[in-house]
Chain A
Amino acid sequence: MDWQALLLTLKLALVTTAILLAVAVPFAAWVRLSGSRVRGLAQAIAALPLVLPPTVLGYYLLVLLGTRTAVGRAIAAVLGHPLAFSFAGLVVGSAVYSLPFAVQPLVTGFGAVDEAMVDAARLLGAGWLRVVGEILLPLAKRSVVTAALLSFLHTVGEFGVVLMLGGDIPGATRTLSIVLFDQVQDFNDRAANETSLLLLGLSLTALLVLYARPATGKATGKAAQHD
């Protein structure tokens, strides 16, 4: 078992999940609370990573982060090297790749929060921050957990983007899925089976946490969660 790759994968998934929650919560709140006419467009764009094949997404990121583009040259000038083939590069790729998995549950969850409660809070003078912090997040707690878990798991299983953007560097970009790919290519079925089992076990446990909880129905104030 490649423990270094396992640790790296978990670290990548954790960092990515943290970043995604930080981005997706404000985004979902904006979708829920603003009357903006471009909400639909913004949501559509946020869902796009679902459509592109991961290797294509990875290739576009490779081009964007490379010295062919102004963005890439600026990053390279600041860091002293291009962002690709580094852990930070993988975080960027993973965040884009897993974005829909953070955004969708949150938008749905925030959308299910009772309109009357949001209106009441606003009438009483609560600003956006308070509405999000004291109404939306507590009432859509389950959606936040779902968003976090799905982002985490989707990043753990990420392959195409890492393949395109990683450069297979042990300890920096060689994640478990790359190790697994290499083991399969080496006809090393035994090691591949071990790695797969570990990935499956890890994911099943996490998904059980998500789905084995009692269904609490709609995310309203009445659906108190005892756990």
Chain B
Amino acid sequence: MRRGWQLALMLVMLAATATGMAQTLRAPVRIAAAADLQPVLPPILQAFEAETGVHAVATYESSAALTAQILNGAGFDLFLSADMSYPARVIAAGMGATTEPVAYAHGVLVLWTRRDSRWPQPTMALLRDPALKRLAIADPDRAPYGRAAMAAIKGMGLTAALQAKLVTAANIAQAAQFAETGNADAGLISRTAAVTPALSAAGDFVVVPQGLYPVIEQGAVVLAHSAERVEAERFLDFLRSPEMQAQLERSGLMAVRSTTPHGAS
């Protein structure tokens, strides 16, 4: 009886492995994607597969971490960064298929709080509130949204006041976790995270005024060593198509071809 169970378990595992192998045999397009895209990309990958039959998989990390992986030979086909500087660095290292990164979206920074916090309807003024003890941001030295958050803090003249209150997450998805779990009182996070079902249910956000931080221009580069270069380029075109740009806007980003790319929301 016991042996029967073991056999069954082994068969299940074998089947699972075989299914996995069958998928890898189709050589998916491998995408290195900035962490703010984690809630954004899955439906787009599905739409792409539905339209082209090409399977694409994404790995999410901070743009800096992905760049380090790519420069050290990680086998990605396409890099979707949260800014232009990291893809530019990949290109400078001779690893880009193009000479310039291609902008595919603009990021939006928001201030998010939990509904059961002291500030259920956040305003920028809460950053001046002494009752604010901990503010989550992404790593300002390595994550573009973190850089934007620091710029906004500086723009409000709050650098000194907030320095000791900042808790730094490795990437923007984690900054959202810090705030969502109530460990930080508030978070300067991406709108892509703020509009996800989990965060919409738990709290609310206010868009950080555009003038406070430099535009977060999110850039992409197809990698020169890619074996799936054609498909990777096809995905990037797909991502920049009007339909997908509209999808990006619904997910909290801004379309690159929009006439008022940075109007107030």
Q: In the complex, are the beta carbons of B183 and A62 less than 8 A apart?
A: yes
Residue contact B182 to A186, C-beta cutoff 8 Å: no
A67-B182, A68-B182, A84-B183 known; A167-B167 Cβ under 8 A? yes
* A59-B177, A81-B134, A185-B64 given; A168·B182 CB < 8 A: no
B182 adjacent to A185 (CB under 8 Å)? no
B181 at the interface (CB under 8 A from A): yes
Task: Report the Cα distance A67→B118, complex, angstroms.
Answer: 12
Tell me which residues across on chain B come within 8 A of A198, comparing CB atoms: none
Contact across chains for A85 and B167 when beta carbons are under 8 A apart: yes
Contact residues in B for A187 (Cβ distance below 8 Å) = 68, 71
Binary contact track B132-169/A, C-beta < 8 Å → 1, others 0: 01101001011000000000000000000000000111
Across the interface, do B64 and A85 meet the contact criterion of CB distance under 8 Å? no
Determine whether the beta carbon of B133 is less than 8 Å from that of A168.
no
Interface centre among A59, A67, A164, by most B CB within 10 Å?
Answer: A67
Contact A65–B183 (Cβ < 8 Å): yes
Contacts of A167 in B (CB 8 A): 134, 136, 167-169, 178, 184
How close is B239's CB to chain A, nearest CB, in angstroms?
25
CA distance A85 to B169 in the complex (A): 10
Inter-chain contacts of B62 with A (CB < 8 A) = 185
Max count, chain A CB within 10 A of own CB: residue among B133, B136, B182: B182
Contact check, B168 vs A186: say whether CB atoms are below 8 A apart: no
Q: Mark B176-209, 1 if CB is under 8 A from A, else 0.
A: 0110011110000000000000000000000000
The answer, among B134, B142, B184, for a CB contact under 8 Å with A185, is: B142
Query: Quick check: is A82 within 8 A (CB to CB) of the other chain?
Result: yes
Q: How far is the CB of B159 from chain A (nearest CB, A)?
A: 16
Give the residue of B71, B142, B169, B182 whose beta carbon is less than 8 angstroms from that of A82: B182
Can you give 24 A-B contacts (C-beta < 8 A)?
Answer: A59-B177, A62-B178, A62-B181, A63-B181, A66-B181, A66-B183, A68-B181, A84-B183, A85-B167, A85-B178, A85-B184, A163-B170, A164-B174, A164-B177, A167-B134, A167-B168, A168-B139, A168-B169, A168-B170, A169-B167, A169-B168, A184-B68, A186-B64, A187-B71
- A residues touching B (Cβ–Cβ < 8 Å)? 59, 62-63, 65-68, 72, 81-82, 84-85, 163-164, 167-169, 181-182, 184-187
The 4 nearest A-B residue pairs measured at CB: A67-B182, A167-B167, A66-B181, A168-B168
